Structure 1
Amino acid sequence: MVRISEFQIKDVVNVADGKKLGNISDIDINLQTGKIEAIIISGTGKILSLFGKEEETVIPWKNILKIGEDVILVRFNEKNEFHIQEEE
């Protein structure tokens, strides 16, 4: 059994280029099946000003390759995945 708090401290790393994408800020759960559909990685911060937008990256659960002690390895292709802009 793994708790969401344990997921949040792990670095998410893209195996395609070795870049750290960030840390999990949230998860998307299908309430019908009870399965995790995607992980959501929060952006690096506000852009331009205090009232800027923060970008979130959504990675489908099927793109998670390995969950280790310190990192979560994912296959992430920006062209195929999507970002959500949130206003604060």
Structure 2
Amino acid sequence: MGERVTELRCKEIIGLGNGTRYGYVGDVELDLETGQVLALVVPGRLRLLGLLGREPERVFPWAQVRRVGTDIVLVEGPPRLPETQRGRGRHPAHSKQKREDHSKT
């Protein structure tokens, strides 16, 4: 049975082992060449009504999805951080090498 992406966005992601409620699917990562779903993304919660931005989004690789029900998606394991949260895309001034160079002077 097929499922539309818009139907996935109405489902809440819940951790299978601990029952953690991560939030609702906000985005879906797709492989455009094969058409396969790569991951489900839950947007980060607003900090102080959005004035301080958002918490990092939570990304659940499709391999972690155990069951897609009518209202929820059960996942096994913790979410991974998106690429920008793991160090890629940081400004060069914040890199470790840059700090070491400044400490030598």
TM-score, normalized by the shorter chain, greater than 0.5 = yes
**Structure 2, gaps ≥5 residues long:** 86-105
Q: C-alpha distance in 2, partners of 1:76/1:48?
A: 29
% same residue? 29
Tell whether the 8 Å contact from 1:47 to 1:54 is kept in structure 2 after alignment: no
Report SS of the residue matched to 1:18. coil
Please provide the CA RMSD for this pair. Answer: 2.0
Higher strand share: 1
Rate the CA distance shift 1:54–1:77 in 2: closer, same or farther, 3 A.
Answer: closer
Greater relative CO (CA pairs within 8 A, separation 6+)? 1
Deviation string, structure 1 residues 31-86 (Cα, Å, up to 9, x no partner): 121111111011222358514234211110010000011110001225xx22455x
TM-score, normalization by structure 1: 0.80
Query: Over alpha carbons, which structure has the higher Rg?
Result: 2
Correspondence for 1:9? 10
Unmatched runs of 5 consecutive residues or more in structure 1: none
Bigger share in helix: 2
